[in-house]
Chains A and B, each alone.
Chain A
């Protein structure tokens, strides 16, 4: 069972933040909460990733869920927005070599520093779940993560109070979501396109149908763009892309 370790419903700027010691998943706890609520836990016992994978959420990391109104007009923007928000905050903390791997894995070079999973439990509201490795030890729980993950503590030695991190993350999410209610997502799209590792060789898995090409970002409808060897672009509906695999880059 969840154990409250702090005063419930702490007000952090315009958000109400609920803090727990241990929960199954912060997204599930946030499922019934109103917009501009957030849930944070020291550890999750059933953190989830994509394709129903488990997400290791051991102590020392940031496991945070933020409830936001679903931006209109296009649902494709929200997963991208969440990645941009995390990148912006990390950049502000001095993290460099940041990039996004479609749709919203936050990478430092080729290692994953943070991940996002969104749940839409109710019409009009979305729960943005963010997992950020700080000084936790995920590879101790899953050896396959070794060499594939990054931790904030290893790239920024000065520790950051987690409360400050939560405050700036929630502030950034709110400042990105609010303009979208007016329907203008062009500035955000341009921002997200700056964060991809464009020109990288990738493979898209369209339920077993593999398409290779050079990743060229997303177009103004949120479709993935892949270029072939002569520079011709093909756009793919993101809902049909099961997975994007980045091909290894070879360095001399």
Chain B
């Protein structure tokens, strides 16, 4: 489905005064809503995990808001983010034993900052922060195995 098809659906919704349209196929899902501001909900695409053993590309680390910590209703307390491991492997804090750690507690990171390496099968994957903030917690010890989705760092946005 391309942009032209989506526009055609929106036109049909207008003509028929439909407020909501949803289509889901095996690897594609689209949901459109017309409201007061005629807002279009972003298209969601999902692909089946045909190859569960696949290593995600470097930099695809998951980010999530820490439950509880982030749920604080006060606007004064910004949510704390977690950088999660995008793969199974061994976690390294520095590029080599002689080198300084990529980040320490208190380090300021931006989305492009490399925070660690995860190694599997002699493939060294550089993991980027993908978020801007300050490192508040380092959750894994150097040279320890990590699981897919395991939290590695906590970041306080700034």
Contact = CB atoms under 8 A, between A and B. Distances in A.
Given A50-B119, A120-B58, A123-B58, A237 B53 contact: yes
Given A118-B123, A238-B120, A51 B143 contact: yes
B122 A79 contact: yes
A229 interface: no
Interface residues of B, number: 31
Interface stretch (A5-13, A67-75, A134-142, A194-202): A67-75
* Chain A interface bracket (under 10, 10 to 19, 20 to 34, 35 or more): 35 or more
Contacts of B94: 52
Contact of A121 (B58, B89, B145): B58
A242 B145 contact: yes
A122 B58 contact: yes
B87 interface: yes
B55 A76 contact: yes
Contacts of A122: 57-59
The residue among A53, A75, A79, A122 with the most chain B CB atoms within 10 A of its own CB is A75
Interface string B49-66: 011011111111000000
Interface of A: 46, 48, 50-54, 70, 72-76, 78-79, 103-104, 116-124, 126, 207, 221-223, 237-240, 242
Given A237-B88, A239-B89, 4 more contacts: A79-B123, A120-B123, A122-B57, A242-B145
Q: Which 6 A-B pairs have the closest CB atoms?
A: A75-B55, A123-B57, A239-B88, A239-B120, A120-B58, A118-B123
16 contacts: A48-B96, A51-B143, A52-B92, A72-B54, A74-B54, A74-B55, A75-B54, A78-B123, A116-B122, A117-B122, A118-B124, A119-B124, A123-B57, A223-B53, A239-B89, A240-B88
